[in-house]
Amino acid sequence: MTTSAAQPTGRGLAGARAHTRGRDRRLDAVREKVERGERLTLEDGDLLYTTPDIWSVCELAATVRNRLHGAPGAGGIAYYNINRHLNYSNVCALSCKFCEFYRKKDEPGAYTRDMAYVREEVRKAVEAGATEIHSVGGLHPYLPWSYYPELVSTIRDEAKRLGSDLHVKAFTAVEVVHLARIAKVYRGANDASDEGRAARREGIRWVLSELKKAGLGSLPGGGAEVFDDRVHDEAFKGKIRSDVWLDVHREAHALGLNTNATILYGHIEQRRERLVHMQMLRDAQDEALSEVARHSVPGASPPHAAVSAGTECRPTKGRFQTIIPLPFFPDGSDLEHLPGPTGLENLRTLAIARLMLDNFAHVKAFWIMQTLPMAQLMLQCGADDIDGTVVWYDITKVPQGAKDAPTHQEVNVWTLQKAIRDAGFEPVERDTLYRRVFRDDKDPRAWRAA
Ligand code: V47
């Protein structure tokens, strides 16, 4: 790569190549790999994390991002969606140190939504033209198994009644295992043998297929935290470990459900542990994509069906769609004494996720947690998606809503589009599966995905 400043402007970090001062020559080998499309190692990741030359890290991530989704000012696109979060309950049997969301059953502020509430939320979502409901909750100790398929079918049926094909993205891997336990199909929990794992996976498969029959469309990426046993035991003991989290996603993929992945960073983990987490996700995606390629049937492939499986085939197996780096918010959690990650650490981690996860089609800068101005900058440093209108977000509370409604964090579509345009990209509305959404000019609530 040259360092000439005589490049066209308006193409963002990767195209302008204006960054010449303080350039870290140790990154040259990584740069060559990125330009050849070669896979990066953990040692490459260490260097990307420790170099003071953060702009080169961003520039490299932008190179990958722009290769997949186009460069700013040159037809490059970035995604947003119109969605709503619906947390069905914040009652949780666990007490994870990093979590400020959970409540015990009789604690002030504890809630569990009934189906009348759910139907009302669906009505509001359809009225707002939403294409997705993102629904997660705590591990409720007393709700029966039947509540969960009912939740999914209620959302789908109510939306259909109102003329909308609303997608239900629901239940993190941790919740799926909890549901398998309460449905009494989770066997072999303490059995480390292959048979134990097969028994656990059978229970997970049963739960997922029942939820799919009820209308579940995909799994969100939550609950992954950091795939490391030390960090797990210290900060979220009681949650499933990485092997089980990955097995839930494997089972979802086998059933044809796409899933997302997250990494929660900036608490008690080391940077190397973040890189190992990314490497484990990359390996799991390799597996998923080879199954996608093996089982696809002839037919048009959806856009960005898979980074490496660009055949004219319709996938019948699922895969990871996007990685969502989540910065840790200490306030209100048992780890309140920690400072949380800084802005540059957020930028760097997102850029490194783009570089390490070469087989993920998308990187999401979740604006609710990153803030909108930061998400905009992230579009120039590896991200291609800023998520959606969201409306209510209970998991972390960034004080930017109305005074008496601290979890109200709505932006309108125009604001999301403007943020994307100002970052140099063409805003594209997507549905949950990253298909383009088209709206009826006369009735913008009506939509179809293509
Ligand atoms: O799993 C909990 C994290 C996640 C805190 O799939 C915290 O499209 C920061 O997974 N500080 C839930 N993070 C959110 C999530 C998500 C969000 C947006 C889109 C998608 C998707 C998924 O939030 C939890 C946990 O990792 N979290 N507490 C905290 N104090």
For 150-173, the pLDDT digits (tens) are: 999 999 999 999 999 999 999 999
- Which pLDDT belongs to residue 370? 95
Domains with residue ranges and CATH for the chain = 13-69 (no CATH), 77-435 (3.20.20.70)
Checking if the pLDDT of 399 tops 60, the result is no
As a whole number, mean pLDDT of residues 377-388 equals 97
Checking if the pLDDT of 264 tops 50, the result is yes
Q: Specify the residue with its C-alpha closest to ligand 1, atom 2.
A: 99
Best CA proximity match to 12, nearest among 79, 69, 81, 80: 69
Q: Specify the residue with its C-alpha closest to ligand 1, atom 10.
A: 222
364-370 own/partner pairs: CB under 8 Å, 24+ apart = 364/260, 364/322, 364/323, 364/324, 365/325, 366/324, 366/326, 367/411, 367/416, 367/419, 368/393, 368/396, 368/398, 368/409, 369/326, 369/327, 369/329, 369/396, 369/398, 370/327, 370/346
- Which pLDDT belongs to residue 304? 46
Pocket test for ligand 1, best of 79, 269, 326 (most atoms within 8 A of CB): 326
Using a 6 Å cutoff on CB, does residue 138 contact ligand 1? no
- Which pLDDT belongs to residue 17? 54
- Which pLDDT belongs to residue 372? 95
- Which pLDDT belongs to residue 18? 54
Using a 6 Å cutoff on CB, does residue 220 contact ligand 1? yes
Checking if the pLDDT of 257 tops 50, the result is yes
Checking if the pLDDT of 350 tops 90, the result is yes
As a whole number, mean pLDDT of residues 350-378 equals 97
Using a 6 Å cutoff on CB, does residue 386 contact ligand 1? no
As a whole number, mean pLDDT of residues 312-326 equals 93
Q: How many residues does the chain have?
A: 450
